[in-house]
Structure 1
């Protein structure tokens, strides 16, 4: 998929939900609710022993949403990046700045988002071809770090992940600092409620977050 199209879609949306679960049917339902609520970029996170099997089936299921970009997160190894790429991941995200994974993605033309917590890591990610950098863990480095990064590397796009909350105060602090989008996982998804079949809270959280973000980006 064209890198510019991925970047434009992520930035335009402003929100990337990060979800993981071992149950495929539950994950399908979450994807449906997310899409219906306005999500067009979705990360399935590689944290379960059957994550690859779930992702492969989810990717096939997601074909009914031709404008949805579905990627994989928590990738640490080149071998993982390779097999998820072959399974159709539209993008690959890591929690760390992994030069071997970055080089692999660069040579294969894969949209790669490394996780960075220092200026050096952000600079390295940019040099290795990443056009979007994940600031992680966001709740540790904070919005002030985003401002510091952009003061010396103003032409990089940043996504804050880790501790980002679905409320106006928290989102305002990130977007005012200069992020182009945010990733939200546990703050967005009440897994126990989802396992009981209650998706209303998720729908509300996503819709409210998207509305807040679009207003902040005006």
Structure 2
């Protein structure tokens, strides 16, 4: 898979520890809201089954990735489950190389320009600045000067109000966690609320 497809709709919801029994409804709500890629974190209960079922139920509507992939074993399990891309909060060169050997894009977490370059040298087609809120959009803008050829996704503390600033600064996508998938929506089964929130995010970045 070419990671460029993740940038076509550059909001990537992160499904972290979502209840398995609600996962299909959550994903349907995101699809209805215009989302075209999701990240299911590997520490979630039933993560592999969620990935498998998401691929089966929504494979022609959404790109399914795995997040919180911190070991080679995590990566193997995610890919075996059908993850089309994998994301990590850290840079582990062995994991990046393993994913590349399986022809699955790996997006490792980075925090410095040196880590960005090292990640691409290991075969990462994109990097994830994490936690992005600590560094802010100005960091992305500044680092894109000398490292303009490295695609950057930003995750961590991104809100609907700040997402556009990161994209305008040069990020090609942003990961959205609890600020999009609000706890109240999940606990109350308010899937229409999730759909409306996703639309608000996409409207905000298109303004």
Give the structure-1-normalised TM-score. Answer: 0.88
Instruction: For 2:193 and 2:64, locate their aligned partners in 1 and report how far apart those are by CA, in whole Å.
Output: 22
2:71 matched residue in structure 1:
77
Q: CA deviation at 1:162?
A: 0.5
Choose which of 196, 202, 216 in structure 1 pairs with 2:194.
202
3-state SS of 2:30 partner: helix
Q: Which aligned pairs between 1:7-22 and structure 2 lie closer than 5 A? A: 7-22=3-18
- The answer to whether structure 1 residue 145 and structure 2 residue 126 are counterparts is no
Q: CA deviation at 1:189?
A: 1.1
Aligned pair count?
Answer: 207
Contact 1:28 1:58 in 2 (8 A): yes
Deviation by residue 1:7-27 (Cα, 9 ceiling, x = unmatched) = 232111111010123532211
**Residue range with higher mean Cα deviation, 39-48 or 84-93:** 39-48
Q: Which runs of 5+ in 2 are unaligned?
A: none
2:168 matched residue in structure 1:
176
Instruction: For 2:35 and 2:71, locate their aligned partners in 1 and report how far apart those are by CA, in whole Å.
Output: 28
1:52 matched residue in structure 2:
48
Q: CA deviation at 1:130?
A: 1.6
Distance 1:49 1:25, change over 3 A: closer
1:86 matched residue in structure 2:
80
Q: Which runs of 5+ in 1 are unaligned?
A: none
Q: CA deviation at 1:49?
A: 4.3
Instruction: For 2:19 and 2:178, locate their aligned partners in 1 and report how far apart those are by CA, in whole Å.
Output: 17
Q: Which runs of 4+ in 1 moved over 4 A?
A: none
**Residue range with higher mean Cα deviation, 128-137 or 42-51:** 42-51
Give the structure-2-normalised TM-score. Answer: 0.93
